Structure 1
Amino acid sequence: MRKKDVNAVGTILLIVIGGIVAAFQALNEALGQTGWLFVIVGIIVLIGESIWANERSKQQRRQALLEKYTDPEIVDAIMNKNFWVGQTHEQLRDSLGAPVDVDEQVLKTKVKHTWKYQRRGRNRYGLRVTLDNGVVVGWQTSG
C-alpha cells in the first residue's frame, strides 16, 4: 500500500470513530442515566435472539440430516465436519461443503476425483480428499 493510501484509510477511520463517539455522546444526553438501561436490555435481547436462532438452525439441519441418512452416528460425524474412508460424496459435501476445486481422472475401471479445500495459493490447498467412484479413499493435509 502506498503512503497516500494509508493516510486516506487512516483519515476515514478517524472520521468513522469520531462519528461513533459523537453519536454516543448525543445518545447519552438524550437518554440520560436511565435510558441506557433500555439500550443495554435491547442489546442483550438481540444477542439472545441471535443465539436462539443459531441453535434452532443447527437443530433443523440435524433433523434434515437424520431424515436423509437415518444413522445418528453418521449425522453426528457430519455435524462435526468429520470425514472418513468409505464416506460417500454426498456425505462429504454435507460435512465439508462444496469443494473449492475438483480434479477428475477417468480410468478404465473407475473415476477418480480429488476434492480440494482450504485454498492457500495457486493450486495449493490445505486439504485434498480423494474419491474413487464417489467414495472417499483417502486425503492429504498440508500445514
Structure 2
Amino acid sequence: MRFMIIVKATPDSEAGRWPPDSDRMFEAMRIYHEDLAKAGVLLDGSGLHPSSKGWRIRYDGDRRTVVDGPFTESKELIAGYTLIQTRSREEALEWTRRFPNPVGFDKPAEIEVRQLYEMSDFEGIASHEEIEKFRDMGMK
C-alpha cells in the first residue's frame, strides 16, 4: 500500500521564507527520512517551490488554458510530500505520527495523508488490457 504524506503550504512557504529554526527542522526531517529508508518504506520525497513558480491547466471542454501562479489560497496548496509504501494502513499511520512538524517546532501545522490507487483497484472498471498497458509503463 502506498501513501502520500502531504505537507500543506503556508504564507511563509509561499513567500519562500524558511522558519527561524529551519536547521533543526531539516535535521529532524533528514533523520525521519533516513529511518523510513532504513525500514524500506521510503519511495520518494521532496519539497516544492512556491506556487509563484508554477502554473495550472484549466479545462473547459476541449479547451485548455494556462493559469500562472502564484495562487492565493495557500491553505489549499502543497509545499512538499513524502511517498511511502507499507504493508497496512496502520503501519502508515504509525510512520505519519512520527513526521516532524514541517513548519518549525512549536508552531501549529497539519499534514495530510492519502492512499494512492493501485492498478488492482481498477479491476472491473477498466479493461484487463488497459490495466496491463499501464503496468507495462511501470505503474503499480
Same fold (TM over 0.5): no
**Structure with the higher helix share, 1 or 2:** 1
Q: TM-score, normalised by structure 2?
A: 0.25
**Structure with the higher strand share, 1 or 2:** 2
Q: TM-score, normalised by structure 1?
A: 0.24
Q: From the CA coordinates, give the structure whose radius of gyration is larger.
A: 1
RCO greater where, 1 or 2, for CA within 8 Å and sep 6 or more?
2
